[in-house]
Structure formats: C-alpha cells, structure tokens
C-alpha cells in the first residue's frame, strides 16, 4: 500500500488528476480505452473539476473511456438531484467528451434489484475489468456503500445504510427523513479486482478511518482495511487526514526515496 501524504486538499486533487491522466494517455492509442471506476460525494469533486479543465484544454480525452460508478441509492429516480446518476452528469459527464452509453451507474429504480446487480457485474467483466478505481472513504472507513460488517468477498448487491451514513449524507437531502435506507453498491471483492485503486481522503474527520485502514488489522469492522490485500493501492491524503498515522514519517520518507529513484532511473 502506497501512502502519499500531501500538503493540502488541492495537492491531493492534482495528484489524483495526474494519475488518471497518465492512465488515459497510456491507453489513448489502444483499441480498448481505459476503464475507470468512479466515486461520488464531496471528496472527488475537485478531481472531476480538474479533469474537466484538462479535457477542455485538450490535454486528455474521454472519447474511448468506459466508466463504472460504485453505487446508487435505491428508490431515488435517476433524474432526481439526489441521485448519483444526476451527480455524475452534472459534475463530470456533461462537461467532457465521453460517450454516455459507456457510463454505468447502478440501476436501482423500477427494476429487479438482484438482476440489476448481476447485470452490473457482467458489464464490468465484459469491459475487461476496471483499470483504475477511484475511492473516497467514510468516517467509519466504509468504501462504496460497503458498511461495517460487509463481507470482504462481497459483490454488487443491496446494502442497508447505517444511521451514521444516513446522517452524514443528510446534507444532500431536504432532511434525514428523506435519506434512503438502502443502496446498490459494488462489493469489496468487486473493488479488489480492479487493476489499481486510488483512495482520496482529506481533513481530520477522515484521520481515524485512514489510520485504521492502513495500520489496523484486516477486518470487516473496517471495510477499507481490505485494501491491504491489493497489490496496487495508492492513498492520496492531506496532512490532516494523515494526522492519526503512527508511521507518517516512514510514508513521507518512502515518497522522497521514490522520487530520488525515479530521477536516477
């Protein structure tokens, strides 16, 4: 697990955008473009704004990119401002040169949910798998909507949201009573099958979750701790999110040495 501690949320945004752009440029001449796993919430917004800006400057193109979103609320119509379909279109898709038919957000409204989950998994498989999965992290270390106690071998399925998650997300709804109780989410095993994973976290509110993810045991009580099992995970975090790490100095030294090795190679 690579832990990159950066000075500010803005630096996290730039680092993440560089990682995405590197992949897109590597795959631009490939018959099959990059496959991205995308997250919602407050943390990725800076990344999406930066990708929009770079696309507008024609530094990158999404013309041959396919995307899969982590999750979607159940019972919220896709055209609702609270849905993740709406979030993705407003905050990324409608501003870039992507083929909308190549974007996939779990379908949860007016469908058989088990069939929808199985279809989502099949589409990921048919795409060749996710090249880079972008993640945020909850204050209780959930990833996607894989809440505390989620099986580390889980796949896309319906999950009940904890009261804490509903409280945290109430700011996007009129009141806590309007926040759905369930969502369809990629499973932890689905996430772990991505070729690479980039988790973004900023602020002291995420410090405990980051500490438990990086330095704690692998346990269903800390869903993000399953990332320790993946061979190619990068955490891009600011100093506030890193403030709970007992080995922060080691991670900073590792990045300095990585930079030196890169310059001398």
**Annotated catalytic sites, by residue?**
71, 140, 142, 147
User: Containing H/E element for 35?
Assistant: strand 35-38
Instruction: List, in order, residues 6 or more apart from 156 with CB less than 8 Å away.
Output: 106, 117, 118, 120, 121, 184, 185, 186, 187, 190
How far apart are alpha carbons 7 and 76 in whole angstroms? 37
By DSSP bridging, strand 2-6 and strand 233-238 are: parallel
Alpha helices in the chain (DSSP H): 9-27, 45-56, 84-91, 113-126, 163-169, 188-192, 207-215, 248-264
Check: CB of residue 49 under 8 Å from CB of residue 10. no
DSSP codes of every residue in 42-65: STTHHHHHHHHHHHHTTS---TT-
- Residue 121 to residue 131: CA distance in whole angstroms: 15
Are 233 and 197 within 8 A, CB to CB? yes
CB 137 within 8 A of CB 206: yes
Q: What angle do CA 200, 26, 42 make, to 5 degrees?
A: 20
Angle in degrees, CA 85, 209, 171, rounded to 5: 40
């Amino acid at each position: 697990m690579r832990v990159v501690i950066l000075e500010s949320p803005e630096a996290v945004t730039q680092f993440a955008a560089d990682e995405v752009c590197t992949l897109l440029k590597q795959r631009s001449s490939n018959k099959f473009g990059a496959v991205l796993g995308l997250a919602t919430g407050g943390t990725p917004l800076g990344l999406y704004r930066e990708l929009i800006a770079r696309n507008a400057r024609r530094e990158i193109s999404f013309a041959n990119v396919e995307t899969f979103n982590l999750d979607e609320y159940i019972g919220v119509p896709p055209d609702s401002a609270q849905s993740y379909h709406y979030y993705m279109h407003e905050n990324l898709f409608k501003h870039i040169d992507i083929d909308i038919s190549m974007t996939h957000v779990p379908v949860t409204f007016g469908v058989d949910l088990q069939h929808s989950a199985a279809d989502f998994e099949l589409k990921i498989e048919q795409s060749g798998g996710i090249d880079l999965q972008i993640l945020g992290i909850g204050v209780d270390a959930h990833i996607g909507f894989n809440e505390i106690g989620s099986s580390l071998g889980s796949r896309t399925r319906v999950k009940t949201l904890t009261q804490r998650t509903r409280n945290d997300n109430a700011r996007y709804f009129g009141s806590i009573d309007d926040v759905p109780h369930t969502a369809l989410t990629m499973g932890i095993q689905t996430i772990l099958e991505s070729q690479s994973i980039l988790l973004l976290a900023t602020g002291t509110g995420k410090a405990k979750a980051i500490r438990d993810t990086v330095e704690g045991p692998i346990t269903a009580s800390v869903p993000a701790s399953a990332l320790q099992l993946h061979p190619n995970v990068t955490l891009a975090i600011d100093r506030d999110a890193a403030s709970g790490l007992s080995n922060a100095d080691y991670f900073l030294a590792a990045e300095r040495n990585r930079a030196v090795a890169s310059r001398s190679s």
